[in-house]
Amino acid sequence: MGRVALNGFLFLAVAVLVAAGWILSPDLTKPNFEFLPQMAHSPRYNAFAPNPNFGDGSTLQRPEPGTIARGSMPLHYAATPQDALRAGEELKSPLDLSSVRARERGAFVFSKFCAVCHGAGGTGNGPVAQRGYPAPPSLLAEHALKMKDGQLFHVLTYGQNNMPSYASQLSREDRWNAILYVRTMQAAAAPAAPSTSPLKAAQADPAKVPGGQP
């Protein structure tokens, strides 16, 4: 093939390509021909739109039974007094009970979330109780002293009679922090009283308790 013929052939090929491009996409304001367009633009369904791809015909699918939220360990208790007792036997505080940080955080949580009803000292004379809400029993009384940590956790998590659940306001760690602070108050108020609390002797020393009762 001569050189002129080759150039002529290449020129013709370019002309054919340009013409083909023009024919396939004559409107320059529109996108070009798309091969398998659904790969680039997959069909979407609104959450509540009917959906032929699922057996039940709806887009929003229920989670599989037993699905748990990421990062949340399930608690297998019911909001019953029996399960509160069971929680008392089974649940142990995950905190380092000598942690000053946890106790200080517990004092903060108690002052913000509990003192309104239970009173700053835990005796049940908070402003909400003074204005007519059924007064809670003193947290320093025999009954609360005998409750185990896991039982307190159950009360904070599921509520108990007039005491509402604090599961949605307080993380689990903050519930345990608050319990640690309740134990601190109890130990500071009555160091000699028999208690199921596993608090160390050091924590019963009021001098070392931030905000504790003398």
Contact residues: ligand HEC, CB under 6 A = 113-114, 116-118, 128, 133-134, 136-137, 139, 143-144, 152, 155-156, 160-164, 166, 178, 182
**Is residue 141 packed enough to be buried (19+ CB in 10 Å), middle (13-18) or exposed (0-12)?**
middle
Buried b (16+ CB within 10 A) or exposed e, 125-140: bbeebeeeeebbebbb
Nearer to ligand HEC, 117 or 209 (CB): 117
Residue 52 in contact with residue 59, Cβ under 8 Å?
no
Nearest Cα residue to 199 out of 184, 209, 212: 184
User: What are the structure tokens assigned to 124, written together?
Assistant: 């049940």
Q: For the CB of residue 171, give the shortest distance to ligand HEC in the complex, in Å.
A: 12
57 vs 81, beta carbon nearer ligand HEC:
81
Backbone angles phi, psi at 174, to 5 degrees: -70, -30
Nearer to ligand HEC, 45 or 163 (CB): 163
State the helix-helix crossing angle for 81-90 and 149-158, rounded to 10 degrees.
140
CB of 149 to ligand HEC, least distance (A): 10
Minimal distance, residue 146 CB to ligand HEC, in Å: 9
Rounded to the nearest whole angstrom, what is the least distance from the CB of residue 193 to ligand HEC in the complex?
Answer: 14
Nearer to ligand HEC, 177 or 204 (CB): 177
Closest separation in Å from C-beta 141 to ligand HEC: 6
Between 61 and 80, CB nearer to ligand HEC? 80
